[in-house]
Structure 1
Amino acid sequence: MRGLAIFLALGLATPAAAQDTLEALGEALFFDVNLSKNRTQSCATCHDPAYGFVDPRETEVGKAVSLGDDGVSLGDRTAPTAAYAMFAPGFSQVDEKMWVGGMFLDGREADLAGQAGGPPLNPIEMGMPDKASVIARLSENSDYVASFQALFGEGILTDTDAAYAAMTQSIAAFEKTEVFAPFDSKYDRFLKGEVTLSKEEELGRVLFFSEQFTNCNLCHQLRVSPLAQDETFANYEYHNIGVPVNQAVRAANGVTGRDLGLLANPAVTDAAAGGRFKVPTLRNVAVTGPYMHNGVFQDLRTVVLFYNKYNSLAKARQINPETGKPWRMPEIPQNLAVTELTHGPALDDKRVDALVAFMKTLTDRRYEHLLEE
């Protein structure tokens, strides 16, 4: 089993041999390529546990978006990390102009089980034609048959919808285990008094949580206290921060039209939702690039400079360091989160670098080696 090799390589607990719990069954399903049309792709392909639960594969557009099971199709959004995803609340509209929670970048699924059911049936992802085809693949595996019957009842695999729901429930149970959320980064160890932050990291920490000097914690702080040991560094709200089109991706995948973000969620019809995407966790952010919903930026420092452009009048700050050209226009210029984006003063290089240094401390212990690569 590929999953076992990865777990051993990461120094994690060995998976249970028998699929006698929802978590163990979900783990097996998470790594099973047989649940894709051509038997080449699993959940772990695009959410690889060796790489912060994102897709490490290179394509013709780098790592910006993922390649489908058909070996040809390219997505239009980057695969977000599955790490710490369990902490996102269910999707809801908080007030007239604010939405929060849910799964996927547009919140179109309410919970982890709903999210797990999407990729197998997506024609440009795992590509299975329908739920019945997925259940037929499950039925090929005698271990699965025994596990499903033991956990969900004797006739579970004869009811397609119920069996599919059982599959997604199992995967969700696995994604709720500590494997996905160890809270053991350098920052977590700092909170426990086990390590000391460098001067640069400490400056970055102070800046990050300061409402006077940055706008970071307006969206990337969930708990009231900056000393909360289960901070996920996301409030799971939806904002339009003015991300430009990833032209290389669009040239490769042939997608036309604009990515409407939250407005693409069938439950949302308000035009004010256009261009908004869910605030992601910053856990492991330093090792899970490229960045933004479409992978348009390669470097974490570029992301900080992108935010800083809204607060700086300096000509140099209006240049994208990755292209050497001015920042391109937002894909959807309406509905920009002007209040959040313009909060705080312009940052000098020392403070930009300090913020990057602090965000590196949010890397889970098992991925710290990736910071050097």
Structure 2
Amino acid sequence: MKRTSARLADNREIIYFDIEGVDRKSDDPRDLPPVSTAAQMRHDPLLNEWVAMASHRQERTFLPPADRCPLCPSRDGLHTEIPATDYDVVVFENRFPSLSMSATEPGTRVAPGNELVARRAGTGRCEVVCFSSRHDASFATLPPERARLVVEAWADRTAELSAMPGVEQVFCFENRGEEIGVTLSHPHGQIYAYPYIPPRTSTMLDNARHYRADRGRNLFADVLAQERAGERVVAQSAHWTAFVPAAARWPVEVHLYPHRQVPDIPALSDAERDDFVTVYLDILRRFDALYDAPLPYIAAWHQAPVAADRDLAYLHMQLFSIRRAADKLKYLAGSESAMGAFITDVLPEDVAERLRDAR
């Protein structure tokens, strides 16, 4: 792998990851305005959660035609976010970031008119990960060596972002499909470097802490052990198991766990990274075979915080879809959206069986 870092016209970083050694000379001729530094965060005192405010994102690019895609390679007449005629995998700073290392501190430490709501600059970093230069590709159609390169990019960015001041957790993810809310159809994912530990991670780690105090064992490891012995396993390999969780919230949901407890992607061995690619591509193809059409999904890496509870955390991927039938979507309606109380229409055991049969 060859890694090349360069700068775009507005000084955002772009990083090329190439399987073969390529001499990258990145020259971005565009005249771009400065990236917004107005992102801020406000603290919800009722839920004890931070909410990012990034009003400048209202102007971001929305579902352009394929011949104007900003994630395709540049060519005559079209200068995109990638100033190269081809690429393997590319990561660059988001032009419309929810969080920015250049975010400016708000004038006051409380929200206007509400002293209960603390606020601060939306410090952090948001990156885009382009999986392929082909607009019509998807992660599921990547050859194994290209998917493996994406894993290397995730590991590289997790390590580098974790070392940045103020970053508390790095989140690698992919949104796929317009039903999910994707605004660019080119195959890509994103990485957020949060200046706080997000609610889901906090909840999982709190539960793991109580479990260890009560039973002396790791909660994630025990969940994995029980699932490996049960009927919801979809695929297994030497280093990974993919299963539908017993209390799955989504119509189609699979968790992928390495058999060895590690805190994050950089901690995976070469053999574990190779094996992940095999299992993950298999699961993605089963997803698309369920309804003989591309399945909208979210793929979310749950990594340990940068500096807290790394002994408790257990790296795993959560992969799920909102499609509950070939022509129906699962909407987060009253119970889910207002109360956070999920109600599912399918049994996890049935979903696991259907995925095992899907080819």
Q: Same fold (TM over 0.5)?
A: no
Higher relative contact order (CA 8 A, sep 6+): 1
- TM-score normalized with structure 2 length: 0.27
Structure with higher strand content: 2
- TM-score normalized with structure 1 length: 0.26
Structure with higher helix content: 1
